[in-house]
């Protein structure tokens, strides 16, 4: 994420988060909270995505192996 976009998104996120949680802080602190939150949130979402991505690949591998076994059995029974 480019630095300028990070600052803009961080400022907006920090402003919204501080208002939702009723935290009174200065503008630099609000921006810093937002930037740190954006970095932390991105890290967590990428970690979750990687875990589910690996799990989806594993499930896909099992389903693919089951399909091949089923096909193998159907072709073997013909003979």
pLDDT tens per residue, range 2-49: 778 877 887 888 888 888 888 888 888 888 888 888 888 888 888 888
**What global pTM score does this model have?**
0.59
Cβ burial of 21 (10 Å; 0-12, 13-18, 19+) is: exposed
Question: How far is residue 19's CA from residue 69's CA, in Å, rounded to a whole number?
Answer: 57
Q: Residue length, the chain?
A: 79
What 3-state DSSP class applies to 25?
coil
The vertex-6 CA angle with 5 and 9, nearest 5°, equals 80
What's the pLDDT band for 56 if we cut at 50, 70, 90?
Answer: confident
């Amino acid at each position: 994420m480019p630095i300028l976009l990070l600052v803009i998104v961080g400022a907006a996120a920090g402003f919204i988060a501080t208002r939702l949680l009723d935290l009174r802080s200065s503008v630099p602190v609000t921006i810093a909270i937002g930037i740190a939150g954006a970095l932390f949130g991105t890290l967590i979402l990428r970690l979750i995505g990687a875990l589910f991505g690996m799990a989806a690949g594993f499930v896909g591998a099992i389903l693919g192996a089951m399909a091949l076994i089923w096909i193998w059995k159907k072709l073997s029974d013909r003979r």
